[in-house]
Amino acid sequence: MITKICEKCDSEMKLVPAGFSRAKNKPYSAFWSCDKRNGGCGATARAEGGAAPAPAGGDEGRLVAIEQKLDEILGMLKVISDNV
């Protein structure tokens, strides 16, 4: 898992992938989040080079986004297995 240290409270942040807001029905870019539920401060930071937002289109768009993510994961696994 990719993590980052929060500049405000020194807690571990997690990467939130780009997606579509359910409340506003608008795309958002990937960002780092310092989770308050795990003792963090709730700060966020923009993720550099984050994935593109999931395409619109309800379930079909979501399935396309899932397929793209799986392709990325399979590519990473291939690189890892080639280096072992």
For the chain, which residues make up each domain, given as ranges?
A: 1-51, 54-84
**Nearest of 56, 65, 60 to residue 17 by alpha carbon:** 65
- Per-residue pLDDT tens digits for 32-75: 998 888 788 988 888 875 444 444 555 666 777 788 888 888 88
Residue 7's Cβ-side half-sphere holds a number of Cα atoms within 13 Å equal to: 4
- pLDDT the model gives residue 54: 45
- pLDDT the model gives residue 52: 47
**Burial of residue 48, with CB atoms counted within 10 A of its CB: 0-12 exposed, 13-18 middle, 19 or more buried:** exposed
